[in-house]
A and B are shown apart, each in its own frame.
Chain A
Amino acid sequence: MVVVTLTPRKERKYIGKYTPKIDAMEKALGKVQFFEDVSLKGKFPGMIYCRIYASPYANATIKSMDSGKAEQLPGVFAVLRYDDPEVLALPTTTQSWTDMGVTPRHRDTLPRLWDRRYLDKTARWVGDHMGVAVAAESEEIANEALRLIDIEWEVRTPFLEVDEAKSSNATILHPEIDPKSNKHPHKYDNKDAVDDLGYVRGDVDKAIAEADDVIEVDKTYGGRLVNGVLDFRACLVKWDDDKLYCWSNHYNVDQTRMYFHCQLGLPLAKIRVRNGNCGAQMGKWNMGEQNYYVITALLSKRTGRPVKYKMNNFEEFCETRNMVNWNIKMAAKKDGTITALDFNGVGNSGGYYGFSEYVTYFICKMSGERVFGHVPNVRIRTSEYFTNRMPAGCIRSIANIQLCWALAQAIDTMAEKLGMDTIDVIKKSFGDSWHELPHLSMEAVLNEGAKRIGWENRHRADQGPVYEGCKKRGLGVAVWNQWHTEWQEWERGRIECGIRVNGDLSVTLQAPTKETGSGGNSAAVLACAEELSFLNIKPEDINWVAEGDSDLTYRDNAATDSAVSWLFAEIIHKLAPKVKEEFCKRAALMLKVEPEELDIEDARVFVKSDPSRGMSASSVIMDSDCLPVYVYMNNGYDMTITGVPYGAWFAEVEVDTEIGQVEVLRLVLVNDVGTVLHASGAESQQLGGQCMGLGESLTEEIFYDKATGTPLNCNYLDYKEPTLADYADIDPVLMEVWKGAGEYGCVGVAEGPLTGTAAAIANAVYNAVGIRLDECPMTPKRVINALNEKSKKDRGLEK
């Protein structure tokens, strides 16, 4: 493999380098504390365990419940039922309680529907937390207590697909929202949409009628992948008199506190939430499953004990992406210019609202500026439905991945129809609406990726050589915008950061964020060393405060949306001059000059007009009262619209035409990120994203028993995540072409790396064997079926 290292646009001391993570040693030696480590029973004498009833039926309602035997079971401390007055008095709750910011109940950052009740008596999917919860001496006793509960059910026929949800026989899963339909109400600026038509520009019908070529694709993506991380969702709550203490592995301390405040009515100052590290996030905690926090809290209040709740394998697995069917019609001129795009997206969010139209309407409309900003005629229709699948919502690469799956294959299909190279078609028509075409960033990532994968050797579809008698190879490409950049992050609200320089010039950096693995802490420390280089401060001199604590630290920066690294880098850039100012102010008193007369270099404060006069920066503190130099700020956003940069995915696959196996031989991922903050960390995100993308493309799939709606393989043995044995050759490439606002002008690189993986692989499969796959994962069964269809069609043509 030829490795080409990044050449940064501006040489800096610590930023943009290939260096280890700042916490690599602590992590390697197992010293980092995860939730399970801070919640050991030995640390919380008297701690008991909460378990919540998970419905065995996908579509059913409790008619009556007898919890007597459970209440009598030795070791059971409390049983909390659906008909308990305190439970009935709780407000409803919802999914997407937050995304990036801290959100009170009355204000939406994303449209929400309050479609969840605590311990509801109705179940909407197999595994739905409902009915009853218990607190007991051990998890085993709690589980046994749940088994002893007798329930009389009204069981109804489950349905998993949108077509069934539309049927007049289907149960209306949320009559409180619409008594007549399982369809979600439109909630964005398409509120008054007629026939689900939310957005129009130009005249799509006319453009299609006048086009030289028109193609149509119908692709489904989502509903099959799970987060699949190793650190399961959990909390520990101790509700002592009037103060509630919570330990959690949620990605945002302040949002967890806001949740308790809004749901339980406690003053914010009487709620203390703490978290430590988290064994990866990948988007979870956005699905409405936060119910367990309030239930655990109520059980703590009832029993006067610390109560711990932790999901089991099955529960941890029950969350997925929204399943979306995108039908796209695309029109083009003979020269390859795309003249119209007609989208029809139909989503399946499972038992609850999920991220609903965010995944269909919102992202398609936004992509109308970010991806197909220059296509003159665009029409978007979307609808979403409730079904009895497990709830859908936020998983890494949310929403963009479903649309990219369809659009990248549509572009490839059109290119072939026009007899053009796919890359040329992309360059001609795709890019954000704020830049002219060809978009420099788009062009750069495509050219670099094409060079790396050997695109010039790409043969025509199904025309390549045959290897080992039955294997054929192909190349494919996909592109998508990077996210997020500064002007897209305003909803997060201001962020807080503080720098405390001690007398020995070591630093305590208060840049609170949950370390989920995304590396915001490494970037913050590197930026801090970079910006404080006038004090000769090195990354190892900086102590990043690891624990989130709503009583003791600032508001934590939600570890979402690929933004934490650069948000901290930008605010630290603004804080550093304040550090200098404070040193000069103090030194001025000691040197008996005006602060403006001073400057600092090499950790020495000196008089600019007479550099021989001065003192060490350390003695400014150590020779006075030893008070550390401390600066703090909270920061909003530069709303200058700078457009967006791009990522390009290139895949080379080998398809075994006898057994239908798709093997990915090579992946090249090129990301233009504005400025690379921590090169090794960024590459790690690219590589890791490809790995997750490989899993979603080839093997990861939740299966259901259609008759009962039961998900069948919610565990690590029966659900196949990639391991080292499945790993392909991946080439991560970082570029700095586009630049955003601010000193660094970055865009994220953690959320997006898997957006185009599946689409590039699908296009490569087509190039190899001439079949278009409409669904993911591209398993041997789907490939063989498609090959058989093709074979039948080819034979028909021969006749």
Chain B
Amino acid sequence: MDKENASKTVEIAAHETIRLNVNGRWYKFKIGQDIQPADTLSLLLREKLGLTGVRVSCEQGACGACTVLMNDKAVLSCMMLAVEADGAKITTIEGLKSDDEVVEAFVNECEPGYGTTMQCGFCTPGFIMEAHGLLNKNPHPDMEEIKDGLSGHICRCGCYKGIAHAVERAAEKINGKEEK
């Protein structure tokens, strides 16, 4: 955490409550009671709101499984404090519907030569949220940009070929829709 953020965190922690908009609904948490100043955002989402689609694994920012969107940008929810998200709009995998373009592309990937986007599925929500973050930032990524954008995630089952292909497909679909 840089200096500015650190002082901001101290400032927020001194407040009594934080407010978060999670998946379209506002929540208020009393610091010291509902949450502790040292609680991570992932802990708040999983333990307090029951949003267990937020997967937590390495807790050191290396695996990407805990990725959520904060104000439409992909962030690692296990690497930031809940109080740092005060006032933010948070989207977790639970905030996406089955007809979301990225979700659909991940689910339906079965083109010959590409396998699937998942085997065990542990890392999948994190990849989907990162893909959304990438497409929010860059609606027309080429393959190199997709590889680069999603390289902070580990899929030990090794479904990278299917994942990259699905993101490409999702981008095409989103862009196609927008052009219409």
CA of A352 to CA of B118, assembled, Å: 34
Contact A30 B116 (CB under 8 A): no
Nearest CB of chain A from residue B33's CB, rounded to whole Å: 16
What's the minimum C-beta distance from A236 to chain B, rounded to whole angstroms?
15
For the complex, is B53 an interface residue (Cβ under 8 Å from A)?
A: yes
Q: Is the Cβ of B119 less than 8 Å from the Cβ of A517?
A: yes
Contact of B60 with A715 in the complex, beta carbons under 8 Å? yes
Which residues of the partner chain B approach A731 to less than 8 Å between Cβ atoms? 113
- Residues of chain B with a CB closer than 8 A to A10's CB: none
- The segment from B8-16, B24-32, B82-90, B104-112 found at the interface with A is B104-112
Least CB distance, A208 to chain B, in whole angstroms: 41
Interface of A is mostly: loop
What A residues does B157 contact at CB under 8 A? 280, 517, 684, 688
User: Which one of A36-44, A357-365, A593-601, A764-772 contacts B?
Assistant: A36-44
Q: Give the bracket for the number of chain A residues in contact with chain B.
A: 35 or more
Cβ contacts B50-71/A at 8 Å (1 or 0 each): 1011111111111101000000
B137 on interface, CB distance cutoff 8 Å: no
**Residue pair A32, B121 in contact (C-beta under 8 Å):** yes
B103 to chain A, nearest CB (A): 5
Are B153 and A716 in contact (CB-based, < 8 A)? no
Query: In the complex, which residue of chain B has the Cβ closest to the Cβ of A679?
Result: B112
| A707 contacts chain B at the CB level, 8 A cutoff | no
Q: Which of A25, A30, A681, A689 is close to B125, meaning CB atoms less than 8 Å apart?
A: A30
Smallest beta-carbon distance B171→chain A, Å:
15
Q: For B107, list chain A residues within 8 Å (CB).
A: 20, 24-25, 28
Q: Is the CB of A30 within 8 A of B55?
A: yes
Please name all residues of chain A whose beta carbon is closer than 8 Å to the beta carbon of B58 when the two chains form the complex: 230, 313, 715-716
In the complex, A24 Cα to B146 Cα: how many Å? Answer: 21
Q: How far is the CA of A142 from the CA of B70 in the complex (A)?
A: 33
A552: Cβ under 8 A from any B Cβ: no
Give B96-139 interface residues, CB cut-off 8 Å to A.
Answer: 96, 98, 103, 106-125, 128
Chain A's closest residue to B120 (CB) is A517
**Interface members, chain A 23-54 (any B CB < 8 Å):** 23-34, 36-37, 40-42
Note all chain A residues with C-beta closer than 8 A to B50.
Answer: 40, 42
Are B162 and A684 interface neighbours, CB within 8 A? Answer: yes
State whether the Cβ of B7 lies closer than 8 Å to any Cβ in chain A. Answer: no
Q: Is B164 an interface residue (CB 8 A)?
A: yes
**Does the CB pair B153–A28 fall under 8 Å?**
no
Contact between A21 and B122 (Cβ–Cβ < 8 Å)? no
Q: How far is the CA of A34 from the CA of B55 in the complex (A)?
A: 9
**Nearest CB of chain A from residue B65's CB, rounded to whole Å:** 6
> Which chain A residues (461-479) contact chain B, with CB distance < 8 Å?
none
A3: CB under 8 A from chain B?
A: yes
In Å, the complex CA distance between A716 and B58 comes to 7
Of B94, B107, B125, B157, chain A has the most CB atoms within 10 Å of the CB of B157
Does A486 sit at the interface, judged by CB under 8 A? no
How many angstroms from the CA of A227 to the CA of B46 in the assembled complex?
Answer: 26
Min C-beta distance of B166 to chain A, whole Å: 10
A277-B112 contact given A687-B158, A688-B158, CB 8 Å threshold: no
Given contacts A28-B124, A685-B115, list 8 more A-B pairs with CB under 8 A: A18-B110, A230-B65, A680-B109, A685-B119, A687-B114, A723-B153, A724-B163, A731-B113
Q: List 19 A-B contacts (CB under 8 A).
A: A19-B110, A20-B116, A21-B116, A24-B118, A27-B124, A30-B53, A30-B55, A30-B125, A42-B50, A230-B63, A313-B59, A517-B118, A680-B116, A683-B113, A687-B115, A687-B162, A688-B119, A688-B158, A689-B158
8 tightest Cβ-Cβ pairs between the two chains A and B: A30-B53, A691-B158, A27-B121, A517-B120, A517-B119, A279-B122, A684-B115, A688-B158
